[in-house]
Amino acid sequence: MSHPSRRGALKLTAGLALLGASALTGCGRGTQTASARTSATPIGTAPATGTLDVWAAQGDADVLSEVIKPFKAANPKLTVKFTLIPNAEYYTKLQSAIAAGKGPDVAQFFPESQAQFLDPSILRPVPDGLVDPGSFFKSLWEAGVAGGVAYTVPWYAYTYALVYRSDLASKAGAKAPTTWEGMVPFLKALQRAGAGHGLGADIGWDIFNGQDVAMYAWQAGGSLLSGGKWTLDTPAMVDALKYNASFFTSKAADTSGPTFLDAQPYFVSGRTASMITGPWVVGQLDTAAKKEGWTASHVATAPLPAGSSGSVSFSAGGTWGVLADGGNADAAWKFVRYLARPGTQVAQYKAYSSLPAVVSAWDDPAIKGQPLLDAFLTQLKNTRAFPQVTTWQQVATRLGKETEAVAKGTRSAAAAAANVQAYAESLGTGAK
């Protein structure tokens, strides 16, 4: 599993959100809107023909040429052209191309940051019967729905779970916590067993910290957006900020480190003994430890500790959408349909360790035989999509900064929640 920049891949969204949907709409596309809304007709089974222009971010898409060999064999008169763009540039280049009317036929998106594209002037609605919406993790599908219309189809999935040093937990006689109340005692037990700090909390204090606290707010029974209005200055958000701060005030985590890129070396060395992170680390820790089999003997995973409203996490991953201005929509949808099949998503996992967005694909022995992934499967069944509004990335970034202030003791949780609410209200939701 080689994804050192999965989280870094998403950093492009913070800047992109400043542009919002306005850069994509109103660009001479008025004539496309009506046709896009009525294009959700069934896609047939005849072989696709012509040329298909596919854009994707470098990473999970790097192996697509191999993964789709059966698709190309079944569609011999179709030429598939891939354009792979560095993560840090992907959305910016895609957005510019779409605005200029020079976008591809089909493009990859990220469900946690695709809101600005969910518009009939930009993407075609998913055709009736193309896929079974119920076959995917629910929140991943919902992340592509706007105004009751589905615009994207899930491709791969990830979320966060608790990854911890099982050897230190065994030495301490400690079990993974199931509730917020048990989290700090568990982390302190890991420290008594020899860890420098119980938790390696990512301290970039940016959009990702904001997303973490948003997740905790859900666990505390809160919402982020309700009835089109921001709901951030709530007791649940205050509780979330306090919960996150407790890791630092208890000295179970350190406000000076590690950063995201340092997380795995810290974990392997014992400077930290747990991470709240994604499934990519499962396949990376042997490399970080420079020892094959290290992960199996030193690591365990568990669903996130539950707050008053459960152990909910967020849904993330990759999706596909077909551009409204693309010239080969028939081939594009047949390509997307192929990538949404359980067998194809298993092939993608075998090629790049991208975890399937189709629930049934997790029954394949290649995945089911990986016990460290069990917690992520459990967690993916209990996830929510971040607000599908164009200003969420900005709001999450501000929430991350307020989270830092609370963790460092320079601002109360109540004041931080009020500040985030005021900021969010000043931005609105980007709704037209």
Catalogue all structural domains in the chain, each as residue range(s) with its CATH number: 6-158+315-375 (3.40.190.10), 161-313+391-427 (3.40.190.10)
pLDDT, average across residues 22-44: 47
Residue 216 to residue 238: CA distance in whole angstroms: 10
Residue 383 to residue 380: CA distance in whole angstroms: 6
Q: Which residue has the tokens 């469900």?
A: 111
CB 299 within 8 A of CB 163: yes
Range scoring the smallest mean pLDDT among 33-42, 99-108, 137-146, 324-333: 33-42
148 φ/ψ angles, rounded to the nearest 5 degrees: 80, 5
pLDDT for the residue numbered 254: 98
Coil, helix or strand at residue 300: strand
Q: Residue 370's closest CA among 315, 314, 311, 295?
A: 295
- Per DSSP (E only), the strands in 323-432 are 383-384
Residue 209 to residue 202: CA distance in whole angstroms: 7
The answer, yes or no, to whether residue 20 has pLDDT greater than 50, is no
Kindly give the pairing relationship between strand 299-302 and strand 316-322: unpaired
Average pLDDT, the chain: 91
Residue 236 to residue 223: CA distance in whole angstroms: 8
Residue 106 to residue 320: CA distance in whole angstroms: 7
pLDDT for the residue numbered 26: 37
pLDDT for the residue numbered 40: 56
pLDDT, average across residues 388-392: 92
Single-letter code of the amino acid located at 106 = V
Q: Report the side by side order of strands in the sheet with 161-165.
A: 274-277, 161-165, 299-302
Residue 357 to residue 346: CA distance in whole angstroms: 10
Q: Which two tokens stand for residue 67?
A: 């993964």
**Which position has the higher pLDDT, 49 or 9?**
49
What is the CA angle 382-384-388, rounded to 5?
165
Q: Distance of CA 167 to CAs 47, 254, 297, 372, Å?
A: 54, 22, 7, 14
Tell me the percentage of the chain whose pLDDT exceeds 90: 88
Coil, helix or strand at residue 11: coil
pLDDT-based confidence at 412, cuts 50/70/90? very high
Query: Which 8-state DSSP code applies to residue 320?
Result: E
Q: Which residue has the tokens 């996992």?
A: 349
Q: Report the half-sphere exposure of 226 (CA within 13 A, side-chain side).
A: 10
Range scoring the smallest mean pLDDT among 40-44, 82-86, 148-152, 194-198: 40-44
Q: Distance of CA 194 to CAs 9, 167, 177, 182, 274, Å?
A: 33, 10, 19, 19, 13
Range scoring the smallest mean pLDDT among 30-44, 82-96, 134-148, 404-418: 30-44
**Which position has the higher pLDDT, 150 or 12?**
150
- Per DSSP (E only), the strands in 104-261 are 106-109, 145-146, 149-150, 153-158, 161-165, 225-226, 229-230
The answer, yes or no, to whether residue 41 has pLDDT greater than 80, is no
The model's pLDDT over 163-177, given as tens digits with 9 standing for 90+, comes to 999 999 999 999 999
Q: Which residue has the tokens 């849904």?
A: 315
The answer, yes or no, to whether residue 429 has pLDDT greater than 60, is yes
Q: Which two tokens stand for residue 147?
A: 């105004």
pLDDT-based confidence at 431, cuts 50/70/90? confident
pLDDT, average across residues 296-324: 98
pLDDT, average across residues 224-231: 96
Q: Which residue has the tokens 């993916």?
A: 380
